[in-house]
A and B are shown apart, each in its own frame.
Chain A
Amino acid sequence: MEKEPIDKILDLAEDLRWKIGDDFHDKLTEGIYADASEIVSNVTRSENSGGRSRLDTRIDRIVTSKTWGFPIMFFILAIVLWITIVGANYPSSLLSDLFLNTIRPFLKDMAVQINMPWWLSGFLIDGVYMAVAWVIAVMLPPMAIFFPLFTLLEDFGYLPRVAFNLDYLFKKSGAHGKQALTMSMGFGCNAAGVVATRIIDSPRERLIAIITNNFSLCNGRWPTQILIATIFLGAVVPQYLSGVVAVSAVIGIAVLGIAFMFFSSWLLSKTVLKGEVSTFNLELPPYRPPRFWKTIYTSIVDRTLIVLWRAVIFAAPAGAAIWLISNIDVGGQSIAGWLTEMFNPLGFLIGLNGVILLAYIVAIPANEIVIPTILMLTVMITGVAAGEGAGVMFELDSANETVEILRAGGWTLLTAVNLMLFSLLHNPCSTTIYTIYKETKSVKWTSIATLLPLILGFVVTFLVAQIWRIFTG
């Protein structure tokens, strides 16, 4: 008996719910928003109500115009990269002189004086210390130049305009215009580029930007590209052309990276990421004079030092590993020797060699130490007289000597080309991988970000090697 009235009320409630309709909530929310904005406009007064300053509008007309928008953009990017690469040379060599030629002998002497066994001093000084010192010497200067420049542009308000100009291209590949910024940031450092994706508030597009950031050729890889392009590609053409060829090869690789970035953005947005929420909007803030010192401070502390610290943390064990595999002998050969032999067939198949693959595995903390590791391993395995012994990374000032060592290691033009390709297309460095995990908190996306470029790298170098061999017989 009791139940009947309750049932009636429930039925009535349901009936009424149908009658109110579905958009009741939306209407209510919008009503609240509209009322709120009306109240605000009634009780507040602002100086430039509803408009933007004349100057802002004028600057915007130029930097987003059809004629000037793109030239200005490329010009600024080129300038920033040029200042970074050229400007970093001097402090880098200063630092490496200090770390490698002053402090290292001093440490070695100390080790001898306190009768440290050779293996301990080798492990600590040649392994751990060398890797850390190397990473700091080559990473710190470019980052300390690039990040402040970039942050100044950001602070001024120019970067959102770049995103606005390029949005159409990124939309086509399912990404957000702001990815143009995180991509450019990636030219400095991929880990910093990944952190920078926080400016993209749409979840799907942010993941795309994170996963594809590695296709931006970072500071750690520019020197590798420039070195290999100069000593191998520049050498096959007449002298007067060699500079041009080397530079265009490096730029070609960077552009190829951008192409891969668009391609994989598109692929990701059509497959694994299509279910993620996507909301686009882009605010174009007013221009303002950058706060110079504050910018310098925050970009050095927040970006440079954090990234550097992470790299150092990973470099120390890698240095130890590099030294150990070169110095521990098993069955008459060092571990590095065995590993190189093991990787040789795969390396050959993709136009590289075992040494290169091994170097990419042990030098995962930083792309900067790939070339020194390759040189060290090559010398150790071929027995060429150079360097400072097993497990001690080195680089040579003379291009000719470098070429000779590499040629002794079996390098050809194909190896050089494929190394450039593989340097672009391989897993991100451990610092970046760790940063991706920190940002996404997801093993799945971290693995995709790690494996996708690596698989692409294997496929591309494999195809290049086969076609090359077919044509050169």
Chain B
Amino acid sequence: MNYNPVTALAIFGIVSFLLFLIFRPEKGWLWKWKKTSKSGGKTLTEDILKQMYHLEDSGKTADIHILRDALKVNEGKLVYILSRMAAKDLLHIERDRLILTKSGKEYALSIIRTHRLWEKYLAERTGYDQREWHKQAEKMEHLLSKEETEKLAEKLGNPIYDPHGDPIPSPKGKTAEFKGIPLSRLSKGTKGRIIHLEDEPYHIYEQILKRNITIDSLIKVEENDKNRIVFYSEGEYFTLSPAVAENITVSVIKDEDFKDPGYFRLSRLKEKERARVVSISKEMRGESRRRLLDLGFVKGTPIKVDLKSPMGNTKAYLVKGTSIALREDQASKILVKKEKV
């Protein structure tokens, strides 16, 4: 047959490159096209409402410039949508300041409710990684109807907090009190419990996750100056920059509630040491949590390291006479206390 293999390779290269452009995750043309084609004004309206609510909640007021920068849309479109929103009585415009009306606020809260419920759903019922939750919820918040949201809430047992520790507004627009203080503002020696990990901006959230800082952990601040914050938690010392610490919220507790001292993560248990299980971290969710309980990882169970895998990471622990292998990220979410010999 008469053909040139080089041409064939070139055609193959071009076709696969095109397929890559169209289908590549997140940035593919197909997803972009899907996004723009059906969003219309609804998505933008709801994003504006959410943005304004967060601004007002933190004591600031919105104006066109802030919104334009936060949402990355062109000003013409923004002005058009804002005027339509004003006509629907979602907000009113005072000179260049934008203020939510009562119905605007309610609308915003319902969007936030859907967002946080969806994150809770992803955390409890699916295997999506925590890095995915926010992105997916950003899409779903515009798609679920009110009835669907309520059905979801019921299925999840009407949760109060989302997996990051943010309160989920009730259907009536009520939110739980939130009395945490950013870690960056705590002075040396303060003890507390981590109640919230902010998932925006992503690059800071990524750092929090990388350090394996988990919600609901007890901490003690060891050092705090303008360069770094050091705190002790679950057998380890963590050093953070103030920018990262800013995004971790802690609820301060009294000294007598800080009963921690000897607690540490199972992943740090050394061979030949004996310990007892104290608790399973809140970050261990849904099916995985139940499975651990089934296997006997319950409060008070004696535990020790049985075997180490030759390639590291996975270790077998002896629990109730059975050897059970867990991976390091799982073992780091089980708290134990050393047994006195």
Interface of A with B (CB < 8 Å)? 14, 17-18, 21-23, 25-26, 29-30, 33-34, 37-38, 46, 48-52, 57, 60-61, 64-66, 69-70, 164-169, 171, 177, 201, 203-204, 271, 274-285, 345, 348-349, 462-463, 465-467, 469-470
A356 to chain B, nearest CB (A): 16
Q: Would A279 and B157 count as touching, CB distance under 8 A?
A: no
Q: Which of B160, B172, B295, B326 sits near A18, CB closer than 8 Å?
A: B160
Q: Would A30 and B310 count as touching, CB distance under 8 A?
A: no
A274/B132 contact (C-beta < 8 A), A22-B161, A281-B324 known:
yes
Closest to A168 in B: B311
Which residues of A have CB within 8 Å of B314?
164, 167-168, 171, 177, 282
Q: Which of B174, B279, B288, B302 sits near A50, CB closer than 8 Å?
A: B302
Q: Does B322 contact A (CB under 8 A)?
A: yes
A468 to chain B, nearest CB (A): 8
Q: Would A204 and B127 count as touching, CB distance under 8 A?
A: yes
List the one stretch of B2-10, B63-71, B181-189, B224-232 in contact with chain A. B2-10
20 A-B residue pairs with CB within 8 Å: A17-B160, A18-B160, A25-B157, A34-B300, A65-B310, A164-B309, A165-B309, A166-B311, A167-B325, A168-B309, A177-B314, A271-B25, A274-B127, A275-B126, A275-B127, A284-B307, A284-B322, A285-B322, A469-B5, A470-B9
Q: Which of B5, B177, B298, B323 sits near A37, CB closer than 8 Å?
A: B298
A282/B8 contact (C-beta < 8 A), A14-B174, A30-B280 known:
no
Total A-B contacts with CB atoms under 8 angstroms apart:
157
Query: Total interface residues on B, using CB and 8 Å?
Result: 61
Which residues of B have CB within 8 Å of A284?
306-307, 316, 322-325
Q: Would A34 and B299 count as touching, CB distance under 8 A?
A: yes
Which residues of A have CB within 8 Å of B322?
283-285
Which residues of B have CB within 8 Å of A349?
8
Knowing that A14-B172, A165-B311, A168-B313 touch, tell me 6 more A-B residue pairs with CB under 8 angstroms: A21-B160, A29-B293, A30-B279, A281-B330, A284-B306, A470-B9
Closest to B23 in A: A271
Which residues of A have CB within 8 Å of B177?
18
B259 to chain A, nearest CB (A): 16
Q: Would B307 and A164 count as touching, CB distance under 8 A?
A: yes
Q: Does B170 contact A (CB under 8 A)?
A: yes
Q: Would B325 and A282 count as touching, CB distance under 8 A?
A: yes
Q: Which of A49, A275, A278 sits near B321, CB closer than 8 Å?
A: A49
Q: Does B242 contact A (CB under 8 A)?
A: no
A317 to chain B, nearest CB (A): 34
Which residues of A have CB within 8 Å of B296?
37
Tell me, in angstroms, the Cα distance from A169 to B288 when the chains sit together: 21
A126 to chain B, nearest CB (A): 34
